[in-house]
Chains A and B, each alone.
Chain A
């Protein structure tokens, strides 16, 4: 039984994963430890964590797999520069020092960095490299509950590939076809993220959240000029309009002239209806391409299961559309679909493909609810809280659940910190901020007073799995918040004629359903189904909330403020609690109320983190 350490790093979202005999032992993203959002540095803390969780030293690890191949990436860069020369000198002059100084010598660099865990480690042969999209594909197929599946991965770019199709059968995974750089669905979405004034690589989900406020007016312009989509869903981007291959921005003058505006400057320019329409348009194009790809793949391979990964698979609206069309019987999406999940995929790919080991428990989702991060014992928590000067009550499980559910039903915003931290960008009831989904003011309050983020941003619901269909138009598990679906028409509130006429963010104030805090303006919601077998405490909490209110749905948003990585330690949680207008904090079996805390411990948290 060998230990395999997977590492993703040096680009964005560094992470480490440890597997043992093919079983996922632990996984975490570096940003949670360093408190630097999307930290791309070597994941020293994450590696330390996964090793200590398994109680082993680096010398006990049999193989260390990096999630992509630097030489192949270098090849792509060189060929791109040659193809576009003399254009692209600016980017070339920025990229080459980085490569010639560091990135080209990644094996040596990795070896040196691994020695920081164990100075005697010197086995260079243990370090191997997977391919970027193979890592993504493995990260979604091997933990999925499918014996056989079509695997579709799509992101900005890896080495050459930006979109791949693979077939997984048992332990085998074979890449069938690829779309190569510069033709990339992820980069198209990122170009619009840049153009609408959000930060590329992190603002894509804001663009997705903004889309329902707009009309997809520019779809024809996008399809007629920027991207040529073929019948099977494959595509080519017209590079005339983009600047990412050679320049230091995503789009160029031609792109700006096509839509008639300069890119939005996030510091000076407000988000206008134009930006909402742009968001709606690129979202619609993305959905259509993903749908067309899915349909043609189903037709070609006649397999009923689909696995998705890569940054584009975090587009849960598009995922929801594929699900709704019922193209596949089952869809499974890797919760850590971004590059962090590459560390998991790299390790699993090596285990099953190189070592040719069979999959065990093939029909079970082996992500363990994605609760793969650090956890803290009750003693640990109490000691840490005492050191911080926190005032708290220690309750038994039953009283804790009752008191939390009661507070939620009275409109409190509660920090909920339990068990192992989630792996992936979503908080799934371990490091979450919770609220009453029935409250008409909760969305605005949480956005402005707790999360300090833009008021248009929607919140997601957690719902008991058995109650799902009564509240949402969805009949599949969504434990990782990877699908968006409409709320059940029975709980919708019909808008009046005047309300229908409202545009954009003005619509936000209309109470659209019985659970307005989690109903986006187009009546959609990004759903998390809660299952007793993966998170019993969270399940019990929502069940108790349902007993009190008759509603099995609560608001679940990540435990952080804008720009801050999700909290990792009890101390992170307490700081966030004291720096925001959260009413209560529940860590393990400790219950903290804001009005009982020492007031001098409160501090201004609004400027603590750089806005994303």
Chain B
């Protein structure tokens, strides 16, 4: 729960509420990607993430 609180604080601080629907979409969509994948491994080239 503390994560959610902190993340909402972050959105408030940065005034970026418009990211919220994208994030919700991502959580659902990302969940599907995770289910489809075995592990989360960063690709070996330059990862800006």
Residues of A at the B interface (CB closer than 8 Å) are 71-73, 75, 77-79, 82, 91, 93-105, 107-108, 124, 156-157, 181, 187, 190, 194, 200-201, 244-245, 248-250
Contact B48 A96, beta carbon cutoff 8 Å? no
Instruction: Take A78-B22, A97-B30, A97-B40 as given contacts and tell me if A200 and B45 are in contact as well, using a CB distance cutoff of 8 Å.
Output: yes
Smallest distance from the beta carbon of B44 to chain A beta carbons, Å?
9
Q: When chains A and B are docked, how far (Å) is the Cα of A89 from the Cα of B29?
A: 12
Whole-angstrom CA separation of A201 from B37 in the bound complex: 27
Are B26 and A100 within 8 A (Cβ)?
yes
B34 / chain A contacts, CB cutoff of 8 Å: 97, 100-101
Verify B14–A95 contact, CB threshold 8 A: no
Question: Dominant SS at the A interface?
Answer: helix
Q: Mark B15-49, 1 if CB is under 8 A from A, else 0.
A: 01001001100110111011001001111011111
Q: Verify A95–B46 contact, CB threshold 8 A.
A: no
Cβ-defined contact, B46 with A156, below 8 A: yes
What count of chain B residues pass the 8 Å CB interface test? Answer: 27
Bound complex: CA A103 to CA B42 (Å): 11
| A250 B49 Cβ-Cβ under 8 A | no
Are B27 and A100 in contact (CB-based, < 8 A)? yes
A412 to chain B, nearest CB (A): 39
Q: How many whole Å from A198's CB to the nearest CB in chain B?
A: 12
Out of A102, A108, A157, A248, name the residue touching B45 (CB < 8 Å): A248
B33/A71 in contact, CB under 8 A? no
Query: Considering the complex of A and B, which 7 residue pairs feature the smallest CB-CB distances, nearest first?
Result: A95-B49, A100-B30, A200-B46, A97-B40, A98-B40, A96-B30, A101-B40
Q: Which residues of B contact A78 (CB under 8 A)?
A: 19, 22-23, 26
Distance of B23 from chain A, by nearest CB (Å): 7
Q: Report the minimal beta-carbon distance from B35 to chain A, rounded to whole angstroms.
A: 10
Contacts of A107 in B (CB 8 A): 2-3, 6
- Tell me if A244 and B48 are in contact (CB < 8 A): yes
Q: Which residue of B lies closest to A250 (CB)?
A: B46
**Closest A residue to B29 using CB positions:** A96
Chain A min CB distance to B12 (Å) = 12
A103 / chain B contacts, CB cutoff of 8 Å: 49
Is the Cβ of A97 less than 8 Å from the Cβ of B33? yes
Bound form: Cα–Cα A384–B17 in Å: 59
Taken together as a complex, chains A and B put the C-alpha atoms of A96 and B23 apart, in Å, by 11
Is A157 within 8 A of B40, CB to CB?
no
- Which residues from chain A contact B6 at a C-beta distance below 8 Å? 71, 107
